[in-house]
Amino acid sequence: MKGWDIVYNSDEKFLRFVSVSMVSLLENCRDAERISFHVLGSGLLQESMDRLSRMVGSYGEGRSVSFIDISDIRGRIDEDSGSVVETGRFGYAAFGRIMAPSLLPEVKELLYLDGDTLVLRSLSQVFEHGVSEGDLASMAMEPTIYPEVKAEAGLSEEEPYYNSGVIFMDAEAWRREDIYGKSMEYLSGKNGELGFPDQDILNHVLRGRVTPLPQCYNFIAGYRYQSYGHLKKKAAWFAPPKGREGFEKARRDPAVLHFAGDERPWIRGNLSHYRHIYRRYAALTPWKDEKDLPGNRLYMLAYHMVDLLTFLAPGLRDRISDIYYKTRVRKRIVKE
């Protein structure tokens, strides 16, 4: 089996959570002959990098981690796009995934993972299947995206929209076709204003050249409380591999679990269904004794109640999402 190259973005504060994702991958992907992690880091301390290197090295031969400093990413993105980018709550480090193939010129295939993921099964099929001929990446669809965000990215109602939390890249093709340069050109035309910056860019630039990734390889934790039928009703274009069967299989047995949203298992007071699984892997990292981040317990309780009520009243989450969209996203992409 060919070796695997895995890339993450992280700053110093988030590295402890990235380590949990990495250790879950190491535990559940022992079938890989080589796993090379590449961390695109901003402000990482040498002590933290050493701790992570020892953790990865403890899994034996063929397991390694390297670090690429992208602390200057804000200046680089602003300069290359010719605009001051409005990233909202996402931060400039999110652009690291677009830059990754250029930063790793010797890598032919690359799997990007968000640091808020857990790998619960082998990823061998992702690497074996790769991308379809002529495509540039493989990504899972995101049916909960707002229609206006799709439209702003230049996508029609019928076209799919993909989540950028897990991306299998044909890195050679990205470099050959200058995907980074095209991304900066597109960003420049938007004056740096996008609802979901890197994700919107990739959906536009890779339009029509994305192989749908099975939902199980990027199962967003909140989808546990959503039904396939309701998601399909919201997004008629939603057509994950194997349709309902593939979605339900992902719900029962996700290969990559993605903690997108506010109910993250490292926030104090969270009631995530998957928090115990997360803690099991967190206990295997050098940061195992770190306390959960402070959180508003009342907010966490309310968030979880919305999850539970989604079973009975799917429209409730939709209305709450609409409020979030209007107050935190829409104002960044619509000129009032």
Window from 42-46, 118-122, 178-182, 323-327 with minimum mean pLDDT? 323-327
Please report the pLDDT score of residue 93 as a whole number.
82
Please report the pLDDT score of residue 87 as a whole number.
63
Question: Span 283-289, mean pLDDT?
Answer: 98
- In the numeric block, the tokens 């990233």 are attached to 87
Q: What is the DSSP string of 222-256?
A: GGGGS-HHHHHHH-TT---TTHHHHHHHHHHS-SE
Distance CA 278, CA 79 (A): 39
Of 131 and 83, the one with more pLDDT: 131
- Tally Cβ neighbours within 10 Å of residue 125: 12
Quick check: 153 pLDDT over 60? yes
- Using one digit for the tens of pLDDT, what is the confidence trace for 160-200? 999 999 999 999 999 999 999 999 999 888 765 677 889 99
Please report the pLDDT score of residue 92 as a whole number.
79
H helix runs in 58-95, sequence order:
73-81
- Using one digit for the tens of pLDDT, what is the confidence trace for 227-253? 999 999 989 999 999 999 999 999 999
- Using one digit for the tens of pLDDT, what is the confidence trace for 60-89? 999 999 999 999 998 998 899 887 777 666
How far from 144 is each of 88, 161, 218, CA to CA, in Å? 19, 9, 14
Q: Which segment, 35-44, 91-100, 319-328, is predicted with the most confidence on average?
A: 35-44
Q: What is the DSSP string of 279-334?
A: HHHHTTSTTTTPPPBP--HHHHHHHHHHHHHHTT-HHHHHHHHHHHIIIIIHHHHS
Are 219 and 213 contacting, i.e. CB atoms less than 8 angstroms apart? no
Question: Span 267-296, mean pLDDT?
Answer: 95
Strand partners, 10: 41
- Using one digit for the tens of pLDDT, what is the confidence trace for 80-120? 988 777 766 667 788 999 999 999 999 999 999 999 999 99
pTM of the model: 0.93
Are 42 and 70 contacting, i.e. CB atoms less than 8 angstroms apart? yes
Average pLDDT score, the chain: 91
H helix runs in the chain, sequence order:
15-28, 46-57, 73-81, 96-103, 124-129, 147-152, 171-176, 179-189, 197-205, 228-234, 243-252, 275-282, 297-310, 314-324, 330-333
- Tally Cβ neighbours within 10 Å of residue 227: 16
Quick check: 6 pLDDT over 90? yes
How far from 25 is each of 58, 114, 255, 257, 263, CA to CA, in Å? 14, 12, 10, 11, 22
